[in-house]
Amino acid sequence: MNKREVSLTLARRTGLTQAEAKRLTNELFLLLTEVISSGESVKISGFGTFVLRPKARSSFCRRIVFRPGKPLKDCTERREGRDTHSDAAI
């Protein structure tokens, strides 16, 4: 799914016009970009956390790390045909 598809799906599900949904989508991604690039983490409950981390100890380069939240992780594991409870017993 790309940004345009996100915007169109948002419009369809919420009743917003396509123009409103596009503006909302663009603002959301702009906000996330600004916050993450400033070094602040973004935690979206039930979805996951975006964190900016250094690439290496001596490097000035940084990378964005995404840690999925438990509901997202559980959902993707169920879709892959895994039973999340049986993994814990191994």
Beta bridge partners of 47: none
Q: Has residue 82 got a pLDDT over 60?
A: no
Whether residue 11 contacts residue 18, with contact meaning beta carbons closer than 8 Å, is answered with: yes
pLDDT digits (tens, 9 = 90+) for 19-40: 999 999 999 999 999 999 999 9
How far is 7 from 41, CA to CA, in rounded Å?
24
Q: Which tops the pLDDT comparison, 79 or 69? A: 69
Helices (H) and strands (E) in the chain, counts: 4, 3
Say whether pTM exceeds 0.75. Answer: no
Phi, psi of 9 (to 5 degrees): -65, -40
Torsion of CA 50, 51, 54, 55, to 10 degrees: -30
